Structures are given as C-alpha cells and as structure tokens.
Amino acid sequence: MARQKGIIKLKGTIGDITFYKTKDGHMAREKGGIDADRIKNDPAFQRTRENGSEFGRAGKAGKVLRTALRVLLLNSADSRMVSRLTQSMVKVIQADAINERGLRNVIDGEAELLAGFEFNIRGKLGTSLYAPYTGVIDRVTGEVSVDIPSFIPSNMIAAPGGTTHFKIISAGVEVDFENETFVEEHSETAILPWDATATAVINQVNTVTPNSTKPLFLALGLEFYQEVNGSMYSLKNGSYNPLSLIKVDGGV
C-alpha cells in the first residue's frame, strides 16, 4: 500500500494497480492475493480459516453491542470505534479456554476484558470526568446502576473549549451474543451548567432482565453543550463526548 502524491488524485484500477481514497488520504495498492477457493480448502490455510471464523464472530458480537448502545453512541463515538471494538472482541474470544481454536466464542471467553473500553478516543471518560463514581451490576435484580456524589462541575469535569453545559448519561445492557439480541435501558440527567455550583447527588438505575445469565454491561458518559441565545447545541456535534464501559459482568 502506497500513498498517492501530486495534484491529480486517481480512483479506480489501472493494470494491476488500484487507486482509492481512505480517511488517511489517497492510496494505491497492487492487486493480488491467494485464490479464495484455496484458502477455503487447502490444509495449509487451516489457521487462516480458524482466525477468519473467530474474527467474523468478533465482528458480529461487536455489532450487537454497538446496536444495544446505539442511542448513546449517536453522539459519542470516533470514526475508528468499530474496528477498535472488533479487536477487543477478538481478545475476548481468544480468552476462551473451553473450545478449540476456530470455535472459540464470546460466551465462553472473558467479556470482562471489555471493561474500560472507550467508544470515543477523542474524548475519553478517564480524562474528562474526575468526580468519583460507583458502578454496580446486580444480576439478581437486574439493576445496572451508577452513583455519583455531589461535585463541582468546573473542578471535576475537564470540558472542551466552548462548553457551557453538560449532562451525564448511562446505560445498562444485557446481551445475548448467541442469538444476537439484547435488552437495554438508559438514563440521563438534565442539561446542567458547567460552573462552580455543586450538583445534586446523581443516581441512575437502568433495569434489565432479573436473574439473567447473559453478559451485562454498564456504560457511563458525558455530553457537552454550548448555550447560544438561550438554546442548547451539542458541542462540535459531540466530537468530544466520552462514553466508556465502566463495569462488565460476563455471565454465568
């Protein structure tokens, strides 16, 4: 793969060279590769088939989780989030110590490895929210909650330039990766001023299925706003809104 230079940028194929545009600029690469039928059947590519199977499984698992959190992710995700989440799901699957290589899955893997995953690398929760918080997943009651004591926003939230207000969001999610279904509930505070006035105590409880045996996730995030002439606008279209998985229970 090579980067195109010069005034005129090409798209398409000339001979064995394909020209295309990516987020990283205009690129060029030589056509080639191994015959697909050989990859499917040649014993020499057994490991390739196993890796491909597990990578595909990771992609599907990531899609289910993203869909479950879609309402929050609409304003809280970077352009490479999908690929980063898939890579993290691969690690979850590779932690499966029960099934053979190629058959490993998320259910028998370690979903807890997803704890701390940041959906927006341009605005991470760990470098935005400094107020202490406690996340709890109660599998028996199905309550997935977060508690935040009163705090001074201007002291405990590192907000991007232009911020005048913010709100705190959270979601509890139960995911059935095998059947590609989920149960989700989310909460949010009112839009609060980013100033030196202490907030009230914040308690957000999101309820999923009681006594579930499926993996459970707790996501926590912030949304930043700018007030203009009495109206609230999402700051820079949510580019710096953080959202993170702060707690994960992999199921039983």
pLDDT of residue 37: 62
| Tens digits of residue pLDDT in 96-140 | 999 988 888 998 899 999 999 999 999 999 999 999 999 999 999
SS (H, E, C) the chain: CEECCCCCCCCEEECCEEEEEECCEEEEEECCCCCHHHHHHCHHHHHHHHHHHHHHHHHHHHHHHHHHCHHHHCCCCCCCHHHHHHHHHHHHHHCCCCCCCCCCCCCCCCHHHHCCCECCCCCCHHHCECCCCEEEEECCCCEEEEEECCCCHHHHECCCCCCCEEEEEEEEEEEECCCCEEEEEEEECCCEECCCCCCCCEEEEEECCCCCCCCEEEEEEEEEEEEECCEEEEHHHHCCCCEEEEEEECCC
Percent of the chain with pLDDT over 90: 71
- 202-207 and 143-148 as β-strands: parallel, antiparallel, unpaired? antiparallel
Q: Which of 17-26, 68-77, 142-151, 231-240 has the highest mean pLDDT?
A: 142-151
| Tens digits of residue pLDDT in 32-51 | 555 556 445 545 545 555 55
pLDDT of residue 102: 84
pLDDT of residue 12: 66
Angle at 96 between CA 92 and CA 101, to 5 degrees: 110
Percent of the chain with pLDDT over 70: 83
| Tens digits of residue pLDDT in 148-162 | 999 999 999 999 999
